Amino acid sequence: VSTSTIAAAIAVILAIGLVVTVGVASLLSGAFHFLFARPSLVFLLPKNRETGFAFGLKWNSAREPAKFDKVKLRLFNPFGNPTQVEVSREFPAQGSSFGTEVEMGEAMTKFWQSQGFDRALVQIEISSLRDGLTQQFEMRGAKFKEKFHAASITVDQFQSKNKIEKTKPLYNTVERSFIADPLPQTNKVLKLATNPVFADSFAAPAAGAAKAQGDADNNFAVSKVWIDPGCIVCDACEAIYPQVFEVQSDTCVIRPDAPLTNGLLIQDAAEACPVEVIKFTKAS
Ligand code: SF4
């Protein structure tokens, strides 16, 4: 047998050994987690023993990341009355081991007063609505009652014992100040007529006024204005200069008292006429 064959055989054996080792380690890790690192539920002493339910939940949040925000108590009571009771409430989401007390409301009274409670099955579900993860615990009613009444530490004591920070309130009071903070410095400037940066923007109206003055200087009077046949009664001329043009049912006419001093406006109306039937002569 050659040396290379022996080396290859050793390599294969080592590779198989490595795979087997990793597999066994993985199995042992899973078994360890199943046996010793499962989520645990602790019954805590509620402030309201009638309708409150206080509990602590510990789990490996690194392995099972979730934010738990709902607790549901179910009573399966096939030999009692009522045969089933369910009460659930939401609470502020918790992303790692926590303790909390939840006010379950009047339904909790019905839960406790069920006939045959001790023999019934109680299911406690703590779930994350957002992450779709549920931790479930089951026990007989008698056991549930025993744990509930045996609870001796409060939520606060549980939190401090397990070095858990207190739950932050759902809403924080906003700090308000009625004195405005100074505006941040920017290169932006207000667009005002008095601001020299925008002098050109506000020069346009002034230019328009100058143009109007120029137009006034160039205006002229007309000696005669009339309408040739062919008016299509579109109203354009009357819209421009109603003191001169009057559109009737079948044609446009010139008003008897029409002012003839604003030749520019009459010219505008003539240019707007789609069939060019408005005629005029300038006064000499
Ligand atoms: S603009 Fe011309 S077509 Fe229109 S109503 Fe006046 S004259 Fe008639």
What pLDDT, on the 0 to 100 scale, is given for residue 62? 81
- Whose CA is closest to 55, among 65, 70, 69, 45? 45
Q: Would you give the distance in Å from CA 81 to the centre of its chain? A: 45
User: 113-140: b or e for each residue (b if 16 or more CB lie within 10 Å)?
Assistant: ebeebeebebbbbbbbeeeeeebeeeee
pLDDT at 171: 53
Question: Model pTM?
Answer: 0.48
Q: What's the start-to-end Cα distance of the chain, in Å?
A: 131
10-residue stretch averages of pLDDT, the chain, 284 residues long: 84 91 80 68 92 91 87 91 90 89 89 92 92 91 94 90 65 56 63 60 55 70 93 91 92 92 92 92 88
Q: What pLDDT, on a 0 to 100 scale, did the predictor assign at position 178? A: 60
Please give the distance, rounded to the nearest whole angstrom, from the Cα atom of residue 246 to the centre of ligand 1. Answer: 9
Q: What's the pLDDT at 276?
A: 92
Q: What is the pLDDT of residues 238-247, one digit of tens each?
A: 999 999 999 9
- For the stretch 104-131, pLDDT in tens is 988 898 899 999 999 999 999 999 988 8
Question: In this predicted structure, what is the pLDDT of residue 79?
Answer: 87
Report the 10 Å Cβ neighbour count for 245.
24
Q: Residue 53 class from Cβ within 10 Å (0-12 exposed, 13-18 middle, 19+ buried)?
A: buried
Are 102 and 51 a contacting pair, CB within 8 Å? no
Which atom, in ligand 1's list, is nearest to the CA of 232? 3
- Closest by alpha carbon to 124, among 77, 159, 164, 72? 72
Instruction: List Cβ neighbours of 168 (8 Å cut-off, separation of 6 or more).
Output: 92
C-alpha closest to that of 59 among 123, 126, 104: 126
CA of 232 to the centre of ligand 1 (A): 6
- Nearest atom of ligand 1 to the alpha carbon of 276: 2
